[in-house]
Chain A
Amino acid sequence: MDGRTLHFHLFGINNQNFIMRDEETGSWWQQISGEAIQGPLKGRKLVHVPQDEISFALWKREHARGRVLRPDPKVAAAGHYAPADWESHIAKMPVATNTHDARLPPRELIIGVTVDGHPKAYRMADIRRQNPIVDSIGSVPVVIAVAEDGRSVRAFRRNVDGRAIELFAKPSSSPVTFIDSASGSEWDFAGRAISGPFAGHQLEKIDVLSDYWFDWRTYHPETGIFRVGLR
């Protein structure tokens, strides 16, 4: 922020989304938005760094020379780290936010995508069933895809040279591969055309947020929801 590196601490919770405090100014920041909500930096926003939420196997395939955060031995010894099936435990925890939006159950797992200021939620179950989802957010044609692990989700703007393309999954492909109907080119999960007339093209990636409906809805009250069969 303004050329100064801030250091953060977990400091509280605001409607089930955590607050962090920076050591340098004491301002309070909302995790989901990266925006300061109290203190000297109130109203300022941290720059969002593009990121992926994907399975370790997929990440390792794409980044063989990357580095991985080690567990803290003390925390691991105390058994504080989440078990492999932690998501099923969280799914049973209570929800306490003031959301009266019953369009989806509060703990429905969704993928939140925001394009040009338009937020839209995709049910994880729909993405798995319809992989890939070919959709538009506002006037931007997008594609939402899940990898063969059933957990790693990515979204792209589906434009090649300014023209929207339609993508389909190549049957029983692993690693998952997509084919566009315009040229029959094959695309990988990184959004790159690996063969065919479009070979070498790279679709523009859009950041996605894996979230619970109640949390996404609390911080994106105007969000749309993808409905199967509707476009």
Chain B
Amino acid sequence: MIALPRGWRWMLLVATTVAALAMVMLPAWIIQPFRPQTARGVAFSYALRSISPIATIVALLIAAWLIFTLWRGARWWGKIIVVILLLLTSVSTWFARQNHFEWMFAPLAGAAYAAADAATFVDAADLVIAVERNGEAAAYPIRQLAYHHLVQDDVGGVPIVVTY
């Protein structure tokens, strides 16, 4: 790596940063609400999201090594650019481990239930999703489901995921 000319190492550093960014930005761009998705787009996003947690680490290591070799002898503005590039790769590495859909719709942590008579938080006219299994009945108010989108539960011994 050291044997590479300085200019090449600079180009490699920029390429690594761009690759790391693209890896996390493309799926987020393709899988966005209010846009149509194609089956190929979804498959491509799945592939990127599957490899990005490891691939961004690799990119970060390569970038760190290149920066280490480029730091000495770099001018002040070169050092600033290097720091920005490292920062971008770090953000990509972090984002590859995030689920931004759960930033927007927090998952329900520790679902709690009330008896039908005690459920004063639901209006009579509110719609609920109702499930009955083996004599056990559970209701999931849609106004709550419309936010969380999914709730995991066990009704009458059957593990279910309620989705909306």
Contacts and interface: CB of A to CB of B under 8 A. Distances in A.
A59 B130 contact: yes
A77 interface: no
A206 B33 CA distance: 31
Interface size class of B (residues with CB under 8 A): 35 or more
B12 interface: no
Classify the secondary structure of A's interface with B. loop
Contact of B115 (A67, A94, A96, A97): A67
B150 A54 contact: no
Contact of A71 (B128, B144, B162): B144
Nearest to B28: A12
B107 A52 contact: no
B139 A11 contact: no
B163 A20 contact: yes
A96 B137 contact: no
Interface in A142-167: 149, 151-152
A204 B114 CA distance: 30
Nearest to B119: A68
A96 B131 CA distance: 31
A67 B118 CA distance: 9
A60 B101 contact: no
B77 interface: no
Given A56-B125, A59-B128, A59-B130, A14 B31 contact: yes
A139 interface: no
A82 B143 contact: yes
Interface string A34-74: 00011100000010011111111101100111111111101
A220 B143 CA distance: 26
Interface of B: 31-37, 42-43, 45-46, 50, 99, 101-102, 105-109, 111-117, 119, 121-133, 136-144, 146-152, 155, 158-163
Closest 8 CB pairs of A and B: A66-B137, A38-B46, A57-B124, A63-B137, A68-B119, A67-B113, A52-B130, A12-B31
25 contacts: A6-B161, A8-B161, A9-B101, A10-B102, A10-B150, A13-B32, A14-B42, A49-B155, A49-B158, A50-B132, A56-B125, A57-B124, A60-B119, A63-B137, A63-B139, A65-B116, A65-B137, A67-B137, A68-B116, A68-B119, A69-B140, A72-B109, A75-B147, A80-B106, A149-B125
